Chain A
Amino acid sequence: MQIKPDTSLLSVEERRQERFVNKSAAVAAKYLRRMEDMSGLPDSMRPFLDVLRDIYINFGDVKRPEGVKTIGTYCVMVPQELTYAFGAVAVKLCSGNFTAFAVGDDITPRDACPLVKAIAGIGDIRKLPLYDNCSLMVVPITCDCKKKLVSMLAEYTKVHILPVPSSRQGDDVKERFLEELYALLPAFEEATGNKLTYDSLTRGVAAVGRAQAQFWRFMKFRREAVSVIRGTHAMAVMNALSYMPIDDWTDALVALNNELDERVASGYKISQRKQPRIMLTGSPVIFPNIKVPMLIDEMGGALIADETCMGDRFMYDPLVVTDPSFDGIMRAMANRYIRPCSCPTFVDVSTRIYRLKQMVKDNNVEGVIYHVLRGCMVYDFEYNIVERELAKDGIPVIRVESDYNEEDIEQLRIRTEAFIELLKFSRPAKEKK
């Protein structure tokens, strides 16, 4: 006969962990359900939602063959190609966990950003296998919060830091970053137990290249005048990439793309009305903090593109190998992960401004929502110049500041709704012009 453990006998720590598990699963389940309940969910979205469910509700780990290691990464500067070349799976650990944020709030400074607070909280609770099973975590030093995060992570796992230059002027910056990438190799070798060969590197490059090609196809569906997929669902697809081996993700995306192809052919529309086309930029949107895209969808906007590091930015720029020697591929990586990156950690804002302008042009964007996580300094700094520059093209920008909790959701709803109404009403005036 099995004796049920008496919860009252659990230690304080264990009870805290259990509270955390229950609460964060409940939040994730809620948002997942809301996402599933939205109209226009493609059937091929299943694998992506299943992954999110596995990770956030069932507290599982990345589904992968026996013996394959995972390497945790933050930000967008860690070359995925290298991870796959070492036969490991790259996991993106930037977190959107509400409950972990509340835990981390106590152990981090008040003004730290919620993303880092959530990671700190997860480290404190130690209940997520996704984090605990990582053989190595690579932290690019992009902002102050990430910098200070390193010592916290180092308490329970192996951490490798990847210094990111702040300026991109001059070629020696790239040369230095190349050295950092070379320094990454022994760390990966130690963590995975595998040796890097030229062939495995090209396999890694091919795998990521294939994924990027499919992602480009996916992006084009979102660009088209009649949207066939909701922005929230698209964000979920991008979020799922963080927790899937890239080949599985690509295969699932191929199926999704094929379904979207059918939708286009059959003239399927998500909404019969002509929804205002909105682009999201700024701080990352990470499940379950998917409030903002969800509000846009619910308030009748069409989220057709995003310029965030959990979204398009991560997969957009391809690796351009101009010299197929081993060193050439490494160089191409150093180039691809530094030069075109529109992350605000770099001193020059122009790359990001031009990227935004081009995306506005390509996607016929009518309005831009600038998402700022409270405490995310670098994005907040760039808001003004982005607003000013986009105003020159007549594109309104609204700044939406938020946190990892649900308290401000009604406030956000009002602002989003007002913005979407503004876009709708300013249409006739624009068309006259």
Chain B
Amino acid sequence: MSKIWGKVKQTLFGTSIQTLVFAVIAISLVVLMAFFAGAVPFHEFDMTAHAYQMVVEQSSERHPDHAPLSFTYRGNTIVLTRCISVNEDAEIEVFATSRFGTVRLSEANMANLSPYLLGSFVAVYPVQVVPIEGQLIPRRISASVKTDLRTVQSNTALTPMLSDSRVMLEIGMSNARRIFAYYGGIPLANMNIYVTFANGRREARTTDAYGYIPNVSIREIRRGVSVEYSPNYINTFIQTYMPQNARIISPAIVPLLTLTLMTAIAIVGCVFFRKMYEKRNLPASYTDVKGKRGKVKLRRAPAFVIVRWVVMIASFVLLIWGGRLLGVWFEEITIPVFACGRNNEEQLVGSVCYYMSSLNVLFTLPWQTIAMFFGGLIVPLVLFGRLLCGFVCPMGLVQDTLHVTRQATRTKGISLTDKLYARLSLIKWTFVLLFLGMAFVALDFCMICPVGVFSPALAGFKFSIFIGGFIALFVLVGSFFKQRFFCLICPLGVIMGLFHKISLVRLKKDVTACTECGACYEACPMGIKIIYTEREKTDVTTINCIMCGECVRHCPETNALAITLCGKKIYNADREKFMKANAQATPKSGKKHADCKGGGCGKCK
């Protein structure tokens, strides 16, 4: 400790100008951090208050009978458009329905929608009396339009219902997936209705026993549908329904961009200060090396590595945007379980991460759901174990990309020793405790989760970042210098790792073939030491192993290490391939003279 303090003292209270620069930057960093710490949320979205307003506009288009009104969204402005019609003076009533009850909106309300009013909006057009040729009694058409805000859709199973006598026919949405019709406050069961889609197609449908309207996809719902029901010859009720749709590029990206910028600054700063420190404290031989163009030949990327990257990228796309894309194109798809629960709650109803971190919610669910949840969790874990970490995790791709960037720039990394790994595991178990326990004290692990910073943001969902932002900065900078840094402390990884004893993907070792060269340990992002010290067991799968295959790739002994699936080798170490890469090793750059055959002759300066 005193040694470190000595070094700090030497760095801080030296006399050169660099010290001054260092001090100024350090102090300003502290001030900056204090500024952030003052308002603990790293970035908080104003999700509710003062965010929304409603305007009523007049459209020059004449409306068809069934749609005198429509809702559209323009950023945080909800636009209620009324088309020119015969009855231009008709007074439109607008209702807001939220968890807190129903309120009729006035112009004052509309200009600044209070958070208590956010939920569903219903606009009602006065009853139109349309005479029909050849009939004595004219038709009475009651038209209304309804919209739901995203926040409402995602947080509740059923959207709020107005249940007002002025709106006899009302459309709702359940689980952000299917629409149903209510008539007079009760489900419209087994009735013939007409559904008009956004493109003008009009189809006859029959509702089911619970009022659900069959065969309407989410895609069609998002574009808006009109439901028309005539209980008798005189009355016709029409409601147009359209939920708020999310935009691909949304303000949600702002904190992510901030974080990216801060990460870049932090990384550059770290490299700069380390160089400064090393120049001062280490012998010249550590720092005084020029030129960075040379290449070191490695075993060519085997199929395993290529597959890993392809799967990682594919799963990144799938887990981050999949919820939206599949939700738009197909209807009844629930994508599994390992995506961030904050990504898209419409489809990802069974996110493991979400339920594991809020066990109190999980245990209030019906037992079938709990059973299905655990079943769906255990099956892939038994099949693949932490292979999911190495192949599927989107955070893994982010970290690996940072690692590759570092390697490409030949930047010195941080290599951990067994003692440091032991210290990190302390943080890891603390995280596990927080992960499982925070929900019981009315907190949310998502508040400190670094993944929450970018996963929902990329997917276009607003999600306020609390302390998670600080942790994410720390983790991202860490994983630049140390491959898969977050995996070392990931609590979900630990829970997945519990299944390592029974999972079908295993890491095997031929204990005699191993020369204890420790290359696997050097390559291992998780710092698993027994992989090279083990001399008895042939199975070296551990709780930490993420099956990334780095050890196998760097093992120079044929078959000394192998990854097996159901006992069958799918990837094994190969000295032959290793040596092949060596044999082809010819330096590509640097000064060479005519008769140089790959360096080492001593003539090159």
Residues in chain A within 8 A of chain B (CB atoms): 64-65, 68-69, 84, 87-89, 168, 170-172, 174-175, 182-183, 185-186, 189, 194-210, 212-214, 216-217, 245-248, 250-251, 317-318, 320-329, 331-332, 335-336, 339-340, 342, 350-351, 354-355, 357-358, 361
Contact = CB atoms under 8 A, between A and B. Distances in A.
Contact of B413 (A320, A328, A339): A328
A203 B597 CA distance: 10
Given A325-B411, A326-B412, A202 B518 contact: no
B300 interface: no
Given A324-B296, A339-B516, A206 B597 contact: no
Contacts of B580: 213
B600 interface: yes
B602 A203 contact: no
Chain B residues touching A, range: 35 or more
B48 interface: no
Nearest to B284: A186
B283 A203 contact: no
Interface string B1-15: 000000000000000
B605 A209 contact: no
A218 B283 CA distance: 41
Contact of A88 (B406, B515, B602): B602
A327 B126 CA distance: 78
Given A202-B587, A326-B410, A65 B290 contact: no
B293 interface: yes
B296 to A, nearest CB: 5
B575 interface: yes
B326 to A, nearest CB: 38
B295 interface: yes
Closest 4 CB pairs of A and B: A207-B600, A202-B294, A203-B599, A199-B590
Given A69-B602, A354-B514, 20 more contacts: A65-B602, A87-B603, A168-B516, A170-B418, A171-B417, A171-B418, A174-B518, A189-B285, A194-B605, A197-B294, A199-B590, A200-B590, A204-B600, A206-B598, A209-B297, A247-B597, A321-B296, A323-B415, A335-B518, A354-B512
Contact of B291 (A171, A183, A197): A197
B514 to A, nearest CB: 7
A339 B415 CA distance: 17
Nearest to B410: A325
Given A213-B580, A327-B413, A351-B516, A199 B587 contact: yes
A207 B590 contact: no
Contacts of A350: 535
Contact of A247 (B532, B598, B605): B598
A216 B289 contact: no
B578 interface: yes
B600 A245 contact: yes
B585 interface: yes
Nearest to B513: A358
B410 A324 contact: yes
Contacts of A318: 556, 578-579, 582
A340 B516 contact: yes
Contacts of A216: 575, 579
A327 B406 CA distance: 13
Nearest to A65: B603
A206 B535 CA distance: 32
B208 interface: no
Given A89-B602, A350-B535, A199 B294 contact: yes
Interface string B563-605: 0000000000001001111110111011000000111111111
24 contacts: A68-B602, A69-B602, A84-B599, A170-B417, A171-B418, A172-B417, A183-B285, A195-B290, A199-B292, A199-B590, A200-B599, A200-B604, A200-B605, A203-B600, A205-B296, A216-B575, A247-B598, A324-B407, A326-B410, A328-B413, A335-B518, A335-B522, A342-B515, A358-B512
A87 B289 contact: no
B386 interface: no
Interface string B277-306: 000000111101111111111100000000
A364 to B, nearest CB: 15
A335 B518 CA distance: 7
B537 interface: no
A247 B600 contact: yes
B519 interface: yes
A89 B601 CA distance: 8
Interface string B395-414: 00000000000110011110
A325 B408 CA distance: 9
B220 interface: no
Contacts of B582: 209-210, 212-213, 318
A326 B297 CA distance: 14
Nearest to B590: A199
Contacts of B410: 198, 324-326
B517 interface: yes
B556 A320 contact: yes
A372 to B, nearest CB: 23
Contacts of B418: 170-171
Nearest to A332: B522
B590 A322 contact: no
Given A186-B284, A325-B407, A332-B522, A245 B601 contact: yes
Which of A175, A186, A209, A327 has its CB near the most chain B CB atoms (within 10 A)? Answer: A209
Contacts of A89: 602
Contacts of A331: 415, 522
Which of A64, A189, A197, A208 has its CB near the most chain B CB atoms (within 10 A)? Answer: A197
Nearest to A342: B515
Interface in B364-413: 406-407, 410-413
Contacts of A168: 516
B297 A171 contact: no
Nearest to B580: A213
B519 A320 contact: yes
Contact of B589 (A199, A208, A209): A199
Contacts of B585: 205-206, 209-210, 213
Given A213-B579, A320-B556, A335-B522, A361 B413 contact: no
B550 interface: yes
B165 to A, nearest CB: 73
Interface in B10-67: none
Contacts of A357: 512
B604 A87 contact: yes
A339 B521 CA distance: 11
Contacts of A186: 283-285
A207 B598 contact: yes
A81 to B, nearest CB: 9
Nearest to B525: A322
A326 B296 CA distance: 11
B487 to A, nearest CB: 17
A342 B513 CA distance: 14
Contacts of B603: 65, 68, 87
Nearest to B556: A318
B289 A326 contact: yes
Interface in B504-528: 511-519, 522-523
Interface in B469-508: none
Contacts of A328: 412-413
B298 A203 contact: no
A126 B412 CA distance: 45
Contact of B604 (A64, A171, A203, A248): A203
Contacts of B284: 186
A78 to B, nearest CB: 15
Nearest to B298: A321
A335 to B, nearest CB: 5
Given A87-B604, A171-B418, A172-B417, A203 B579 contact: no
A322 to B, nearest CB: 4
Contacts of B411: 325
B146 interface: no
Nearest to A181: B285
Nearest to B408: A324
